[in-house]
Amino acid sequence: MAFQRRIFSGIQPTGNLHLGNYLGAVRNWVALQNDFECIFCMVDMHAITASLIDPDELRRSTRELACAMIASGIDPKKNILFNQSQNPDHATLAWVFNCVARMGWMNRMTQFKEKAGKDRENVSLGLFAYPALMAADILVYKATHVPVGEDQKQHIELTRDIAQKFNFDYQKEVFPLTEPQIFGTATRVMSLRDGTKKMSKSDASDQSRINLTDTADAIADKIKRAKTDPNPLPDSKEGLEGRPEAQNLLGIYAALSNKTMDQAIAECAGKGFAEFKKMLTEVAVSVLGPITAEMRRLMDDPGYVDGILRDGGERARALSAPVITEVYDTIGFLRP
Ligand code: TYM
């Protein structure tokens, strides 16, 4: 069966949107939005899986993230932009998927292992079941494509496994086998303090990431203090081997200046880090500065943002309702 091409992607409203989220995901969403039907979601139900968040902080973060996405160029009229908890169909389908997914599959999820660490017995059941909710986020709209950063690839593969097993168990092609879309020069942006660690909202050090809320001075300071090595930048990709920080900073530079990695290497070959960091700061401030300014302007008008999210929630529920009806009928849940 041919499924209509539809894009879904989500982002957690925990802390700030950082450069990894922007380059690995949001910027690609902006590029896709004109050609496809897109649904973009602030996944607040995922945000409570890791630890307790102050309720006011969660509300603030959700609004701030929506502002960041609009400021980055997402058009909320053309696309659906909403927060996950507004549509209970995600949770309904997630329960069904909890009964489809196998413990063995979930046990293999590397992100769960990383997040749980040594404290496995003490993390929430929600953190373990998280990938089933993520599969539900996608499949409750029968989304065919999901643009994400590299770190979400395994979750999308699990989404395909769940769809396949559901279709097979009930002998009906209810769900598509969703494709991940991982593209651009920055599919995995690394920490500014350690080129072997992913840039992440949960890193204790704010110096490890550039946030979309950072001022130009903060960006300059973070880049200045970013970890490097003593050698000048190489003239080939091979020269980046074993130099994770150089590789990361050059990758960020290439992505922000819309160049390929080869072009960035050719431009920067032989330069010392002091000179290169000035170039990187300049491009980072020129790309992120206008987004930050627009975000601040939007944050001053919470009524506007809430109106967008309310409208997005309504449109999202209208799309998922027939899918839930189909799932109920397929499973045998009575709708008298
Ligand atoms: P989250 O909130 O951690 O990240 C949102 C998006 O940003 C990408 N990303 C990165 N890309 C490159 N380099 C990085 N350092 C980096 N850090 C984050 C992520 O790959 C993601 O695309 N589980 C998801 C949210 C989610 C979702 C979904 C995504 C829930 N349901 C359904 C897609 C479809 C997450 O925690 O993303």
The phi-psi region of residue 15 (left if phi > 0; otherwise alpha if psi is between -120 and 50; otherwise beta) is: left
* Positions in the chain whose pLDDT score sits under 70: none
CA distance 136 to 20: 24
Told to judge if 113 belongs to the known catalytic residues of this protein, a careful annotator would answer: no
Write phi, then psi, for 95 (nearest 5 degrees). -65, -45
Rounded distance from Cα 142 to ligand 1 centre (Å): 19
Q: Are 9 and 147 in contact (CB under 8 A)?
A: yes
CA distance 227 to 159: 37
pLDDT tens digits, residue range 235-292? 999 999 999 999 999 999 999 999 999 999 999 999 999 999 999 999 999 999 999 9
pLDDT tens digits, residue range 169-209? 999 999 999 999 998 888 999 999 999 999 998 899 999 99
Residue 151 Cβ contacting ligand 1 at under 6 Å:
yes
Catalytic residue among 153, 165, 197, 201: 201
**Pairing label, strands 37-42, 6-11:** parallel
Cβ neighbours of residue 134 closer than 8 Å, sequence gap 6 or more:
10, 43, 46, 155, 158, 159
Told to judge if 271 belongs to the known catalytic residues of this protein, a careful annotator would answer: no
Told to judge if 172 belongs to the known catalytic residues of this protein, a careful annotator would answer: no
CA distance 160 to 180: 10
The per-residue pLDDT for 79 is 96
Task: Please state the pTM of the whole predicted model.
Answer: 0.96
Write phi, then psi, for 333 (nearest 5 degrees). -75, 125
Catalytic residue among 198, 222, 227, 277: 198
Residue 295 Cβ contacting ligand 1 at under 6 Å:
no
Q: Are 164 and 102 in contact (CB under 8 A)?
A: no
